[in-house]
A and B are shown apart, each in its own frame.
Chain A
Amino acid sequence: MVEKWLSGGFLLVSLCYAYFATDLNFGILAKPKAGFMPNIVGTLAVILCSINLFVTLKKKSESGKEDGIDSSTAFNILLFLAGTAIYIFALDKTGYFIATTLYLFYLLKVTKTSGYLKPAIVSLSVVSAFYVCFEVLLGVVLP
């Protein structure tokens, strides 16, 4: 399932890329311009992706093996991605320390770690360690 979707996705990406590559000038062989390689790569990718999609769709009927993602995994991935997106957004607003501590705690809960105290202590101490490592030892400026 995933393989079919990805094959399709890559074909779509290649098509878009090849389309936007035509905006760039190919130049001539002795004087290639900015569109030289993008056009070659784009065209090649569209051809190969089409072949691949065809092969993949056909292969499905032969072997019955599923590579799908079940619903609980999908839900977890969604939780993970949403949390990460919010974290990145919050990083700028609340600063590194608070945002990262909360984020780590959240992820620990996503992995179904039991209890509240232990994950909280772990996230606090791990993030403190990072903070010291980056900010103090390496002099990096964190948000």
Chain B
Amino acid sequence: MTMLFQGFATSLEFQNLLAALIGVTLGTVAGVLPGIGISGTIALLLPISYGMNTLTALIMFSGIYYGAMYGGSITSILVNVPGEGASVVTCLEGHLMAKRGRAGAALAVSAIGSFIAGTLGVVGITLFAPLLAEAALAFGPPEYFSIALLGLVVLTNLSGKSPLQSFIMALVGLMIGTVGIDPMTAISRFTFGSTNLAKGLDFIIIVMGMFGLGEVIATMCEKQTNVRVEKVKSRDLYPTMKEIKRSISPIFRGGFIGFFMGLIPGPSATISTFISYAVEKKLSKNPDEWGNVGAVEGVAGPEAANNAASASQMIPLLSLGIPFTSSAALLLSGFMIHGIQPGPMLVSTQPIIFWGLIASMYIGNLMCLVLNLPMVGVFASLLRVPMNYLMPIVAVITLSGAYVLNFSLFDLYILMAFGLLGYLMQKSGFEPAPLAIGAFLGPQLEQGLMQAMVICDGSLWNMMTRPLAGVMLWLTVILIVGVILKKVVSLIWRKQGGD
């Protein structure tokens, strides 16, 4: 504890406070602009940080890292353009809320939820970091595979009207995930000899197309073009008491889900948002709001989850020196440049750095909240811009962001194609969310599967008798059998009723 206070003392020094402020501000900006992610921003600042004191630089990098989680939800809610994986789910309910004039409420709830969950996450790091790091290692490839599979099945089941169509979408997503050079076997698959396809289809490009451009096409090209979004009054910019009350338990639940998921290797922040969404939808008292007018729980839970996850992802990074995500990897590179090797020895060899960083995360989260809440009004009033201006601008933002992501013009054609697909799917009742989830989880699912098959000597039974993986796999089996049984029973019942 005394170490933590010493940490606070260090991180409250002027230069460190300033660094935290710069970090979270840039992080928020990076989160808002689709395409410019955490990685890009940290990479940009690495050269500038050479002259800085080590702790100051690290505080700045970490600020970018968790600040981006705050900004990410803004474009998702306002214009249905997710800037990164963790804010795809926020699009689903958040944008629906924006459409009925509750954008301010959605934004505010997501900022508050992010703050509460982010702080909870840091408390978790403070208390249990080394312990949890060890626990995270109990998850091996069979477990990654089971988690990915369970997540895929649960989500596919929840969204959309037809489980069959949702499942097909998930499979199409998995197909998309296999395009490109396979990192494990180093051979190119489904590339037809094209170098552009060899690097694979970027998940973010696909969701930006399906959600963002799809929405643009729908609003811009259909006849009722000039229908404006409901006029937003100033007092409607902030959430009502009822909305806040409804968000509190989802925020805490999402926070816990995110925190524990964040410990698992792989893109767990994103998976945790999916799971939180699923949980909230199951628990909701107003199930008819979901996917219809937008349920505030569907924003609060996932947003809390991704912030808690991004905090707990610091645990394996700091106490094992193993980055589980690409943005954590860049953070690690920031540490290494300054001669700090995160790992089991960090707490004992560099206590000032370790605790100073943790203390700065408490302060930084507070800064994020203070920065974001007043902006809610500004962002929400952007929707007052008439549709015939707003939509073309969104199209330009999406295209620019997608270009900046990989500096590839080819990506823009892919974006366009998925925009059209997204529109057509929206028209016909096929759900884009399972496709996105499939494309996202596909690589992890495949890697986990291939590794698990070797580790378990090629026997599924061996995998299903491992304690952690087993539970998840059996749950998956039960879910799938349940859906099929339900369908079969209803068919038989209808036949008999018809006779």
A, B assembled together:
yes
Mark A residues whose CB is within 8 Å of B: 2-3, 5-6, 10, 13-14, 17, 20, 24, 28-34, 36-38, 41-42, 44-45, 48-49, 51-52, 55, 67, 69-70, 72-73, 76-77, 79-81, 84-85, 87-88, 91-92, 96, 100, 103-104, 107-108, 110-113, 122, 126-127, 130, 133-134, 137-142
B36 within 8 A of A: yes
Between A and B, 12 residue pairs with Cβ closer than 8 Å are: A2-B424, A13-B172, A14-B171, A24-B189, A34-B185, A37-B450, A41-B175, A51-B164, A73-B223, A88-B412, A111-B388, A141-B407
| Residues in B lying within 8 Å of A, measured CB to CB | 29, 33, 36, 40-41, 44, 164-165, 167-168, 171-172, 174-175, 178, 182, 185, 187, 189-190, 217, 220-223, 225-226, 387-389, 391-393, 395-397, 399-400, 403-404, 407, 409, 412-413, 416, 420, 423-425, 427-430, 445-446, 449-450, 453-454, 457-459
SS class, residues of chain B in contact with chain A: helix
Is A38 a contact partner of B44 (Cβ separation < 8 A)? no
A6 near B428 (CB under 8 angstroms)? yes
Q: Is the CB of B428 within 8 A of A104?
A: no
A107 cross-chain contacts in B, Cβ below 8 A: 220, 391-392, 395-396
Contact among A28, A84, A111, A140 for B458, CB-based, below 8 A: A28
Q: Establish whether residues A104 and B391, one from each chain, have CB atoms under 8 Å apart when the complex forms.
A: no
Q: Could you say which residues of chain B place their CB within 8 Å of the CB of A28? A: 458
Which residues on the A side are within 8 Å of B217 (C-beta)?
Answer: 77, 80
A49 and B168 form a contact (CB under 8 A): yes
CA distance A46 to B33 in the complex (A): 38
Q: Which residue of A lies closest to B394 (CB)?
A: A107
For B456, give the chain A residue with the smallest CB separation.
A30
Across chains A and B, which 7 residue pairs bring their CB atoms closest together, nearest first? A30-B458, A107-B392, A76-B221, A3-B428, A29-B458, A111-B388, A2-B428
Q: Please indicate the chain B residues that have their CB under 8 angstroms from the CB of A137 in the complex.
A: 29
Q: How far is the CB of A45 from chain B (nearest CB, A)?
A: 4
Residues of A within 8 A of B425 (CB): 6
Are B396 and A127 touching (Cβ within 8 A)?
Answer: yes
Chain A contact residues, majority secondary structure: helix
Q: Which B residues are in CB contact (< 8 Å) with A96?
A: 400
Closest A residue by C-beta to B447: A37
Q: A52-B164, A81-B420, A133-B33 are in contact. Are A33 and B185 (CB under 8 A)?
A: yes
Asked if B164 and A130 sit within 8 Å, CB to CB, the answer is no
Known A17-B190, A73-B223: A29·B453 in contact at CB below 8 Å: yes
A119 CB, min distance to chain B CBs, angstroms:
8
**A111:B225 contact, CB within 8 angstroms:** yes
Rounded to whole Å, the gap between the CB of A39 and the closest CB of chain B is: 10
Q: Is A80 touching B388 in the complex (CB atoms < 8 A)?
A: no
User: Which of these, B168, B387, B396, B397, contacts A52 with CB under 8 Å?
Assistant: B168
Q: A29-B458, A111-B392, A113-B389 are in contact. Are A48 and B171 (CB under 8 A)?
A: yes
Q: Is the CB of A122 within 8 A of B458?
A: no
Residue in A13, A31, A67, A87 whose CB lies within 8 Å of B428? A67
CA–CA, A112 and B174, complex, Å: 39
Which residues from chain A contact B36 at a C-beta distance below 8 Å? 134, 138, 140
In the assembled complex, how far is the CB of residue A84 from the closest CB belonging to chain B, in whole angstroms?
5
| Cα A104 to Cα B395 with chains together (Å) | 8
Report yes or no: A104 in contact with B168, Cβ–Cβ below 8 A: no
What A residues does B430 contact at CB under 8 A? 3, 6
Contact present for B424 and A45 (CB under 8 Å) = no
Nearest-CB residue, chain B, relative to A1: B428
B392 A104 Cβ-Cβ under 8 A: yes
Please determine whether A36 and B388 come into contact, CB atoms closer than 8 angstroms: no
Instruction: Report Cα–Cα, A52/B407, bound state, in Å.
Output: 38
Say whether B457 contacts A30, CB under 8 Å.
yes
Known: A14-B171, A20-B190, A111-B225. A38 touches B178 (CB 8 A): yes
Given contacts A48-B168, A85-B413, A139-B44, contact A37 B396 (CB under 8 A): no
Per the bound structure, the CA–CA distance linking A29 and B461 in Å amounts to 12
Q: Check A88 against B416 for contact (C-beta < 8 Å).
A: yes
Nearest-CB residue, chain B, relative to A18: B175
Question: Which residues does chain B contribute within 8 Å of A126, judged by CB atoms?
Answer: 393, 396
Report the minimum CB–CB distance from B374 to chain A (whole Å): 20
User: Nearest-CB distance from B224 to chain A (Å)?
Assistant: 10
Is the beta-carbon distance between B221 and A17 smaller than 8 angstroms? no
Q: Which residues of B lie under 8 Å from residue A33 when comparing CB positions? A: 185
A131 smallest CB distance to B (angstroms): 9
Task: Check B409 against A37 for contact (C-beta < 8 Å).
Answer: no
Inter-subunit contact A77/B175 (CB<8 Å): no
Contacts of A51 in B (CB 8 A): 164
Which residue on chain A has the smallest CB distance to residue B45?
A139
Chain B positions within 8 Å of A13 at CB level: 172, 175
How many Å lie between the Cα of A76 and that of B226 in the bound state?
14
Q: Which residues of A contact B164 (CB under 8 A)?
A: 48, 51-52, 55
Residues of B within 8 A of A84 (CB): 395, 399, 412, 416
**B387 contacts across to A, CB distance below 8 A:** 111
Alpha-carbon distance between A48 and B434 when the two chains are bound, in angstroms = 15
Complex interface: chain B residues within 8 A of A122 (CB) = 389
Contacts of A24 in B (CB 8 A): 187, 189
Are A104 and B453 in contact, with the CB atoms below 8 A? no
* Assembled-state Cα–Cα distance A104/B399 (Å): 11
- The answer for the CA separation of A138 and B64 in the assembled complex, in Å, is 13
B residues in contact with A85, CB < 8 Å: 413, 416
Given contacts A34-B187, A122-B389, contact A81 B178 (CB under 8 A): no
Instruction: Give A81 to B40 CA distance when docked, in angstroms.
Output: 29
Given A30-B454, A87-B399, A112-B388, 12 further pairs, Cβ under 8 A: A6-B430, A24-B189, A29-B459, A41-B178, A49-B168, A77-B217, A81-B420, A85-B413, A88-B412, A96-B400, A110-B221, A140-B40
Once bound together, how far apart are the Cα atoms of A77 and B423, in whole Å?
10
